[in-house]
């Protein structure tokens, strides 16, 4: 990636080897948040734990690491190759001017060795460090508190049953920053004050906020808020958050508890208390008891991001309020009254409403991030709901079972909403798999039933 003819500095990103399908979209989103772009050359090694990124500045690299939960560490790349010889040749070509500030006699430093998919003996590590004596290090070695830390990184592939003798790729670089992997533990749902059966895992919540490019002072909305896991992740990145849920008990933290050994929710188990637990209460706007299928907002652009996990009808029901005519006897002369009842909310309607809502209430450039359940045998890209005001940014699959998965869909508002856009996304093919009462639920459980039947048959053999 070149900027006005200038070759951009190269950085090495070491990534965690889980949630593979979400990494590219996360890094791309974060780069674009900081004004950068992902260079296409990297895409061929997409499942590798090592990615080389071209970025205009170290500041951008540091900004990215303040946000990523997929990235572990970032290094300024000084050299790389497919063999030691290639690495050394590449290091000898690295501009001396770039190295000098970190090698001077008044600095302290340390060199570490990391091998991916192989354990190296200490002796081997020292040999690898000694082999770099041609680099003009003039500072003092300080193993405890060095000013600069350098790393030799070796890639032995991703197959633990087939570890090559020699590394497939070698890198050398100056450590710049670590990513936000610690958040996965510190925000773990296991230690959360208020949880429900469908509370979103902490790592995925942060990934969703990153796909949504949430930034400080944004306003983020979750129309299916549940216990507020997605609000927490956005608030951590400095956004003001709010949500709605159709379930009164969920919004008010009442009713049965989801934790084992606890029958009823305690007095302070609610969304606000969850934000307070992490020191984020000042970012909490509120949560309302409201049906996402109903328009309750004034017509204007309100939200920087809509980030949500809608109900699929597997662990929680898909429902909405309905209107039922009921004749109420009145002493004054028999008037007709309409009361609100619960009726099934087909997924096809739910996605139609969600896209329409995002198209109307997102600011331009704002993002919608949501999960789409998929019955794998029927999946084609055409089934992904579309809207004339929203551009598809990413579509990341997470497998749930042999026949089902969920896709994290990210869309960006690219066009102002006009009345004719309301029905612009009513293409039959998109909504077909989600039409009909409990359509996804039936497919989901049909697979489970078949599997149980097969297990039974296998047992009898
Ligand atoms: C998958 S859960 C969301 C879980 C949430 N992300 C969390 O971490 O706790 C879906 C939520 O949508 C709510 N819901 C179902 N139908 C709704 C509707 N029509 N409008 C608003 N909320 C609804 C359910 O009560 C449930 O809390």
CATH class of 2-180: alpha beta
Determine the average pLDDT of the residues in 438-446. Answer: 70
Atom 1, ligand 1: residue with shortest CA distance: 311
How far, in Å, CA of 372 to CA of 351, rounded?
A: 9
Nearest residue to 304 via CA among 376, 368, 259: 368
Lowest model confidence (mean pLDDT) among 80-94, 263-277, 321-335: 321-335
Residues of the chain with CATH 3.40.50.150: 184-445
The per-residue pLDDT for range 257-297, each reduced to its tens digit, is 887 778 888 888 899 999 999 999 999 999 999 999 988 88
How far, in Å, CA of 389 to CA of 416, rounded?
A: 7
* Ligand 1 contacts CB of residue 196 (under 6 A): yes
Residues of the chain with CATH 3.30.2130.30: 2-180
- The answer, yes or no, to whether residue 330 has pLDDT greater than 50, is no
Distance 318 CA to ligand 1 centre (A): 8
Determine the average pLDDT of the residues in 358-381. Answer: 95
10 Å CB burial of residue 387 (0-12, 13-18, 19+) is buried
* Ligand 1 contacts CB of residue 353 (under 6 A): no
- The answer, yes or no, to whether residue 32 has pLDDT greater than 60, is yes
Q: Hey, what are 213's tokens? A: 């490019």
The per-residue pLDDT for range 385-418, each reduced to its tens digit, is 999 999 999 999 999 999 999 999 999 999 999 8
Intra-chain end-to-end CA distance of the chain, in Å: 60
Distance 403 CA to ligand 1 centre (A): 24
Q: Hey, what are 404's tokens? A: 């089902």
Determine the average pLDDT of the residues in 182-209. Answer: 96
Mean pLDDT of the chain: 88
Domain 184-445 indexed as CATH 3.40.50.150: yes
- The answer, yes or no, to whether residue 172 has pLDDT greater than 70, is yes
Residues 367/305, Cβ–Cβ less than 8 Å:
yes
Q: Hey, what are 443's tokens? A: 């497919």
For a pocket test of ligand 1, which of 311, 350, 408 has the largest count of ligand atoms closer than 8 A to its C-beta? 311
How far, in Å, CA of 83 to CA of 341, rounded?
A: 69
More confident residue, 9 or 332: 9
- Give the model's pLDDT for residue 338: 40
């Amino acid at each position: 990636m070149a900027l006005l003819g200038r070759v951009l500095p190269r950085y090495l990103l070491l990534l965690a080897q889980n949630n593979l399908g979400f990494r590219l979209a996360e890094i791309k989103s974060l780069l674009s948040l900081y004004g950068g772009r992902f260079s296409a050359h990297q895409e061929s090694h997409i499942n590798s734990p090592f990615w080389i990124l071209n970025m205009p500045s170290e500041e951008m690299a540091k900004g990215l690491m303040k946000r990523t939960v997929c990235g572990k560490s970032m290094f300024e790349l000084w050299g790389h190759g497919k063999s030691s010889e290639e690495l050394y040749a590449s290091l000898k070509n690295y501009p001396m001017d770039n190295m000098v500030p970190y090698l001077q006699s008044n600095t302290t430093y340390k060199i570490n060795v990391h091998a991916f998919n192989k354990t190296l003996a200490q002796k081997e590590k020292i040999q690898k460090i000694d082999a770099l004596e041609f680099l003009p290090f003039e500072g003092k070695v300080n193993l405890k508190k060095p000013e600069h830390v350098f790393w030799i990184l070796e890639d032995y592939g991703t197959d633990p049953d087939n570890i090559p003798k020699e590394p497939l790729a070698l890198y050398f670089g100056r450590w710049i920053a670590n990513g936000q992997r610690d958040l996965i533990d510190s925000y773990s749902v296991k230690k959360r004050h208020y949880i429900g059966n469908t509370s979103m895992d902490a790592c995925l919540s942060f990934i969703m906020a990153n796909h949504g490019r949430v930034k400080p002072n944004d306003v983020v909305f979750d129309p299916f808020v549940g216990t507020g896991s997605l609000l927490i992740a956005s608030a951590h990145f400095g956004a003001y958050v709010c949500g709605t849920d159709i379930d009164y008990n969920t919004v008010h933290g009442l009713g049965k508890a989801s934790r084992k050994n606890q029958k009823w929710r305690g007095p302070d188990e609610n969304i606000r208390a969850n934000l307070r637990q992490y020191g984020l209460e000042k970012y909490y706007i509120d949560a309302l008891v409201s049906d996402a299928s109903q328009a309750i907002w004034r017509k204007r652009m309100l939200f920087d991001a809509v980030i949500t996990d809608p109900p699929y009808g597997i662990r929680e029901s898909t429902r909405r309020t309905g209107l039922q005519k009921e004749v109420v006897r009145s002493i004054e002369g028999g008037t007709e009254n309409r009361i609100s009842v619960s009726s099934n909310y087909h997924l096809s309607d739910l996605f139609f409403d969600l896209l329409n809502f995002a198209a109307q209430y997102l600011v331009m450039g704002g993002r919608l991030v949501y999960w789409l359940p998929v019955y794998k045998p029927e999946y084609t890209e055409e089934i992904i709901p579309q809207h004339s005001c929203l551009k598809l940014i990413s579509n990341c699959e997470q497998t749930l079972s042999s026949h089902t998965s969920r896709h994290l869909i990210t869309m960006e508002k690219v066009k102002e909403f006009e009345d004719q856009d309301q029905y612009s996304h009513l293409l039959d093919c998109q909504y077909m798999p989600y039409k009909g009462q409990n359509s996804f639920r039936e497919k989901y459980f049909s697979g489970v039933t078949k599997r149980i039947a097969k297990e039974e048959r296998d047992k009898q053999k």
